[in-house]
Amino acid sequence: MSLHTVPRLLRIISVSARYRLDLLLDWNKLPPPLHWLLRLSPLRLLPEPPDSRGVRIRESLQDLGPIFIKFGQMLSTRRDLLPPDIADELAKLQDEVPPFDQTRARTIVEESLGKPVDELFAAFDAEPLASASIAQIHTARLHSGLDVVVKVVRPDIETVITQDIALLLVMANWMQRYLPDGKRLRPVEVVEDYKHTIFDELDMQREAANTSLLRRNFLGSDMLYIPEIHWDYTRRNVLVMERIDGIPVSDIEAIRAQGIDMKLLAERGVEIFFTQVFRDNFFHADMHPGNIFISREHPQQPQYIAIDCAIMGSLSDFDRYYLARNLIAIFDRDYRQVAQLHVECGWVPPQTRVQDFEAAMRSTCEPVFEKPLAELSFGQLLLYLFQTARRFDMEIQPSLVLLQKTLLAIEGLGREVYPELDLWQTAKPFLDNWMKERYAPTGVMEQLRQQLPQWLEQLPQLPELVMGNLHKGSDMNKLVSLQQTQLEHLTRDQLTQHKSRRNLRLALIAIAGAVLLAKPALAQQLAQLPTASWLLFALALVLALRS
């Protein structure tokens, strides 16, 4: 730990003491010095705050600043790990950060793009439109007359993140060792995931590339619009894109006032999510209300607008296929199929008893299905399934966690827009059609067409690969034959050694008999030994002959 992090660590200790986070630790698991340090610490004089543990953790993260707030936001999505009371409180964290100096923002833009702001833009608003922990947004106008937004990464933020991540890792190691549920919560793994995510968010070119791909996937769609990236003005710490004009999805009253079909709007949100996952295998994984808007045009054919594509998700073809089959089996309440699929695809260990897993799934799902359709939460059900599977040593992959988090967000937004939303009715036909299209003759031919260039590229190497494998097989046979020969030699040597030891023992017994016959006085002395001695002598003789 560097000297630069010491003041930050003292700040963390101070905040932890104020909210008595030490009371969340299992003191009995602490090393004796630390245990007694806490016992004798002045902390014991501080009263325990009246708030719940979730509130205390949330408020302590808020006091520690933007990086810890963003960590809390990410942590709130790991409902497969956190108790519900803590996850619910962390979900309330708001990433509201004061803007940095206007002059500094202009300097970053000019240094990155190599020209003065006045040459780059016809107009540039020095007052930021929005400010968050990683970057802030300014409005501007290009010389062509197009209105754009300029996203500028905070100065020196990478250094701050590096220091705070180092401290979070130290704290995660302590939690893993000393919290009652430390190992189950896997805090070190969570911090490592957060580190990769937040450093990816620092790269504006990566976000711009994600935005361009998502825009291309939905180009011409009447369901989703993605703003255009202006690549000539985009660098690693500056992003310039089209400025959109939409209604925030959280402003339900304004959406209704626009005359938008709320039922269709909610259903389209679900369809957009499943299209991204199963058709494109590239989905927006940060779908909180601040990133989603509704177009003011075509109210009877409502269109979403999405921004901030820093965090995107994708699944392997293997996982997508098994996920679709799992979801269909869940819709059909076929728990046996769900259990078998989890074993088949390797999400749970192969030795898992399918009938036990099936029973656990049934006990998890049946209470959920007893609710009215309008109250069923598909995202919550998926969460319950992940939690159940964890009991059978299922390792949740980061991509599946992103999927679950996004589905929960989409479903929550859909229910907010249209409380009677039946996600099941919208999703199941989509999944059925996707499976049919993928494995219909036309779908199979399309997959063959995509794979054909790779197969043709490898075709000239096929004879060499076949001969190589034949040689390897021959070499393997020779190796096996050699090992068998060595094993036979070893077995013969062991038999020879066994015979030699047995002959030696018989020779020693014969010599002892000869001595007794030659010395009658010695035989008479032995005859006077107690019965117990003879029994022990007989036992020793039997063991010697059998070994």
CA 409 to chain centre: 16
Which 3 state secondary structure label does DSSP give 459? helix
Q: Is the pTM of this model over 0.75?
A: no
Q: What is the pLDDT of residue 427?
A: 82
Per-residue confidence of the chain (547 residues) as pLDDT tens digits? 555 567 777 787 788 888 887 777 666 666 666 666 666 666 666 777 888 888 888 888 888 877 788 788 777 766 666 777 888 888 777 666 788 888 999 999 999 999 999 999 999 999 999 888 889 999 999 999 999 999 999 998 888 888 888 888 887 887 777 665 666 667 787 788 778 888 888 899 999 999 999 999 999 999 999 999 999 999 999 999 999 999 998 889 999 999 999 999 999 998 999 899 988 999 998 887 788 999 998 888 999 999 999 888 888 887 888 888 888 888 888 888 888 888 887 777 888 888 888 898 888 788 777 766 566 677 777 777 777 777 777 666 666 777 777 887 787 788 888 888 877 778 888 888 888 877 666 555 555 565 556 656 666 665 666 666 555 555 555 555 656 666 666 666 566 666 656 655 565 566 666 555 555 555 555 555 555 555 555 555 555 555 5
Pick from 115, 153, 151: which is nearest to 133 by CA?
153
Catalytic positions, please? Answer: 286
- The whole-number pLDDT of residue 213 equals 96
Residue written as token pair 């043709």: 456
Find the DSSP H helices in 2-101: 6-18, 32-40, 53-64, 66-76, 84-90
Which is it for the CA torsion 125, 131, 134, 137, positive or negative?
negative
Distance of alpha carbon 455 from alpha carbon 449, whole angstroms: 10
> 151: helix, coil or strand?
strand
**What pLDDT was estimated at residue 524?**
58
How large is the angle between the packed helices 6-18 and 157-178, nearest 10 degrees? 50
Report pLDDT for 301: 92
Q: Quick check: 389 and 348 in contact, CB under 8 A?
A: yes
State the pLDDT at residue 30. 64
Distance CA 523, CA 526 (A): 5
Q: Using CA atoms, how far apart are residues 298 and 223, in angstroms rounded to an integer?
A: 11
pLDDT of residue 417: 85
Structure-token pair, residue 191: 């911090």
* Full 3-state SS string of 154-193: CCCHHHHHHHHHHHHHHHHHHHHHHCCCHHHHCHHHHHHH
Q: Quick check: 225 and 284 in contact, CB under 8 A?
A: no
Q: How far apart are CA 509 and CA 372, in angstroms?
A: 88
